[in-house]
Amino acid sequence: MTEFIRKRVKNVKNDVLSGITVALALVPEAVAFAFVAGVDPLVGLYAAFMVGLVTSIFGGRPGMISGATGALAVVMVSLVSEGNAMGSPDENLGLYYLFATVILMGLIQISAGVFKLGKFVRLIPHPVMMGFVNGLAIVIFLAQLGMFKSTVNGEKVWLEGNSLWYMVGLVLLTMLIMWGLPKIKVTKKLPEALIAILVVAGIVIFANLDVATVGSFIRDGGGEGLKGGLPTLHLETFSKIPMNFETLKFIFPYALILAAIGLIESLMTLNLIDDLTETRGNTNRECVAQGSANMLTGLFGGMGGCAMIGQSIINIKGGGRGRLSGITAAVMLLIFIVFASSYIERVPIAALVGVMFMVVIGTFAWSSFRILNKIPRTDVFVLILVSGLTVIFDLAIAVLAGVIVSALVFSWENAKRIRARKRLKEDGTKVYEIWGPLFFGSISAFNDKFDVKNDPQHIEIDFVEARISDHSAIEAIFALVEKYQAEGKSIVLKHLSEDCKVLLYKSSPIFAGIIEEAIDDPRYHLAANPEDFTKPLSEYKF
């Protein structure tokens, strides 16, 4: 019992300290994504707080961090601008259309969880997963490069002179501390990311260095500062915009895209955290939690969000494994906003950039370079394709394209594996022994195996080594039987599965006497099975 309590106390300490580190890293990210979406920084910060809190408590993956993300923000830009164009310049309707869209997005995500669509994340191939990880690492890296710019006369320009050298030096110092502390084993009491942030912040404050801080970053972006109050209900959303079909037609496509991106990024991050922690999360529960969090965020004036791979990895690497880590991060973020804004605004951006660069190094699947010449070329193509599309477009398009290409390649490869061994019995009957999967992709090759006109009078087709996979295969068998019977030849089908026989019996009476029953018939089920077969097989015969 003492050992159990000691482990629990240690885990609580790790969760709390890791959560504080994540909260510090969340501030500039949430603010930056709010600027990308064209809304006030507090809209992004409130979203990070509410989405993070709800998913940490009710989500399907303890230790995973959620908040406002860039993948969603880039879609919200056009939504906000189009919404603003629908009203007068001083109405700012785009913000209210955004809140309504986030609420609808949440409903779609909850529906996905209720109908257990989260399990389909299992269909995502490993090359797509590696491409997703690499692409997001590149996106996170590119996002940090924007921190090496300052605003001059309303334009973003690259840092020069001492400002640039200070920034580079502090970033490298942060990375060196995070890399070196585990090597020299100075302390395991605090996460290395938190120590690095505190050390670099102390150097900047006591040396009075003129570098960009969280506060200056917010003001350069047009914000007034980090200070804010508790989030409040934005029920005026339902009065500011018309609640009619036209509004639904406008926001629904955006809500659908946002819901898809949010779920894909969340579920793939969940899979990644599963691998890192060697545990298993609940995908459907995560869908419901993400949807509920986004509905709540929309009602309280937040921009919505999903899982954040960078912050999740910071949390896991810092020792955060339980729900308390995510709860701590969300609550600390709110405390920063309400009570400690003046202190957090003094944290140098360089320290946070250094932390994120270390996240990039830890996130990128460096092993993908080592295995490029060891895996099929099609998998290499999919890996590079998903990485590139994640950077160029967004995660949903990248993953969808990767899954489609992988599915087409799989279908093509399996379509070439259909074989037919031919032999003659002593009585002159020609036997076709079919090998391989019979499905929509292999139908053409299957038909090429038969010589209907030149075959003898009696034909036997044995499917014992074949797999009838879909309705296209059933139709191919039906068409083949018709061709042989049109030539006046007899045909017998052997070793078909039970549900395959049922479908053939129901499709036409011509199968009544040509399907041979055997006790060693295969026992698999067709993907095209239209119903649960509750009646005995004999009742389907003509």
Average of pLDDT values for 51-75? 90
- 490: phi > 0 → left, psi -120 to 50 → alpha, else beta; which? beta
DSSP states along 412-452: HHHHTT-EEEEEE-TTS-EEEEEEEEESTTTHHHHHHT--T
The set of residues, in sequence order, having a beta carbon less than 8 Å from that of 179 and lying 6+ positions away, is 358
Closest CA to 29 of 261, 287, 396, 359: 359
Q: Are 462 and 431 in contact (CB under 8 A)?
A: yes
The pLDDT value recorded for residue 10 is 57
pTM: 0.76
The pLDDT value recorded for residue 147 is 85
Closest CA to 174 of 33, 67, 68, 21: 21
Average of pLDDT values for 270-295? 92
Report d(CA 175, CA 442) in Å as an integer.
54
Strand partners, 459: 430, 491
Q: How confident is the model at residue 136 (pLDDT cuts 50, 70, 90)?
A: confident
- The SS3 assignment for 324 reads helix
pLDDT at position 253 over 70: yes
pLDDT tens by residue, 492-531: 999 888 878 888 888 788 887 888 877 767 776 676 544 4
The pLDDT value recorded for residue 276 is 85
The pLDDT value recorded for residue 30 is 84
Q: Are 494 and 460 in contact (CB under 8 A)?
A: yes
DSSP states along 373-385: TTS-HHHHHHHHH
Q: What angle do CA 259, 265, 269 make, to 5 degrees?
A: 145
pLDDT at position 534 over 70: no
Report d(CA 372, CA 20) in Å as an integer.
39
The set of residues, in sequence order, having a beta carbon less than 8 Å from that of 278 and lying 6+ positions away, is none
Q: Which residue has the higher pLDDT, 87 or 325?
A: 325
pLDDT tens by residue, 444-496: 999 999 999 999 999 999 998 888 888 898 899 999 999 999 999 999 999 88
Percent of the chain at pLDDT above 70?
Answer: 91
Average of pLDDT values for 34-61? 89
pLDDT at position 223 over 80: no
pLDDT at position 211 over 50: yes
pLDDT tens by residue, 389-408: 988 887 778 888 999 999 99
